Structure 1
Amino acid sequence: MTDLPQTNQTSRSREIRQGSLIVTVRDTDMLTPLELEMVCYLLQGFSLSQIACLRHRSIKTVSIQKQQACRKLGCASTATLLLALLDNGIVTLRRAGDGNRA
């Protein structure tokens, strides 16, 4: 397993640094805390099986959490889930050292 990217967490959002990119995941009532945690791992490039291993859960549990997040946001795939997260303002992207969205 590789080292996990640096993550800063507050009660309202989480920042994940991926190289020169900073991903901010805002807490929302649209998704449960566990669904948001799973989304954070997806945004870092982890597969569902890797997420299951990291969270000490079955792959079925993680898969269901992803399916529930997709259903809540009207998505059919991981790619459309990530786009919906951006469109709904749950996730924002910016370059390190830049206040603007990437």
Structure 2
Amino acid sequence: MHAFTKLIRLAVADDHPLVILAIEKLIANIPNIEIVCRAQDSTELVEVLATQECDVVVMDFFMPGGKYGDGIDLIRYVASRHPKAAIVVLSMMTDAELIAQALESGAKAMVSKQDRLELIYVAIVTVLAQEDYLGPSVRALLADANVANRVDLIRKKLTRRELDVIARYARGGNVTEIAKELGRSVKTISAQKCAAMRKLDLSTDAELYRFAFDSGLVQARRA
């Protein structure tokens, strides 16, 4: 493990004492990191941060009961009043939109409680290097949400028939085959394919294939 040259002051806030205990055990094995704040709600966290400087704040997203709230409100509060303290959010959250809001509100890292506990250390090291960090479960969740959003955008831009045509084309069909399958003329299918590509700002078939797979419109075939 990386050894820090100066003492790193860590604040930990979670409404589950066992989570705090687990983080304490993890940090106990790491030189030059000291937990200077242990809080179970926003009231305790804010009160300690008012008197004790911290380099990193590891906080649960859902932590009800404190007078400063939790979630986005607490992230914004801490980020605005303690800009030098990097915020690492630890949560079971599965809402991609809330995750995006948390990052926009000041969180520098997000780790799922479903991931290995050791990733909290990875997040701490990363944010201290002035970089953002997303744990594997969080990255996967956001990636799935991005694919869903892109497909939704495609569906809004294209007609149902245009969408059907480019999906079939990207799966390996040609214009003649698609026309036969759908009972339409080759001219109609070609026109719908061209219209779809124009709406999606695609110029070549290679761009269409890449777009279809990258967007999740069609799935890559397994070998």
Structure of higher RCO (CA pairs closer than 8 Å, 6+ residues apart): 1
CA displacement at 1:85 relative to structure 2: 3.4
Instruction: Identify the residue that residue 173 of structure 2 maps to in structure 1.
Output: 46
Aligned residues of 2:158 and 2:199 also touching (Cα < 8 A): yes
2:194 counterpart residue number = 67
Once the 2 structures are TM-superposed, how far is the Cα of residue 35 of structure 1 from its aligned partner? 0.8
Q: CA deviation at 1:81?
A: 1.8
Alignment partner of 1:33 is 2:163: no
Question: 61-70 or 39-48: which moved more?
Answer: 39-48
Give the aligned residue type for 1:70.
Answer: M
- State the 1:47 CA deviation: 0.7
Structure (1 or 2) with the larger CA radius of gyration: 2
- Which structure 2 residues correspond to residues 1-102 of structure 1 after superposition, within 5 A? 26=151, 28-87=155-214, 89=215, 91=217, 93=219
1:30 and 1:90, CA in 2 relative to 1: closer, same or farther beyond 3 A? farther
- Report the RMSD for the aligned CA atoms in angstroms: 2.7
SS at match of 2:179: helix
Distance 1:68 1:36 in 2: 10
Pick which of 78-87 and 28-37 moved more.
78-87
Q: Which structure 1 residue ranges, 4+ long, deviate > 6 Å from structure 2?
A: none
CA distance in 2, matches of 1:90, 1:41: 13
Q: Which is richer in strand?
A: 1
Q: 1:66 to 1:92 in 2, by over 3 A?
A: closer
Give the counterpart letter for 1:82 in structure 2: Y
Moved more, 46-55 or 35-44: 35-44
How far apart in 1 are the matches of 2:191 and 2:168? 15
TM-score, normalised on structure 1? 0.57
Higher normalized helix content (fraction of residues): 2
Letter in 2 for 1:73: L
Q: 1:58 to 1:94 in 2, by over 3 A?
A: closer
State, as a whole percentage, how many aligned pairs show the same letter. 32
CA distance in 2, matches of 1:76, 1:95: 24
Which runs of no fewer than 5 residues in structure 1 stay unpaired?
Answer: 1-23, 97-102
Q: 2: CA distance between counterparts of 1:62 and 1:49?
A: 8
| 8 Å CA contact retained: 1:73, 1:84 | no
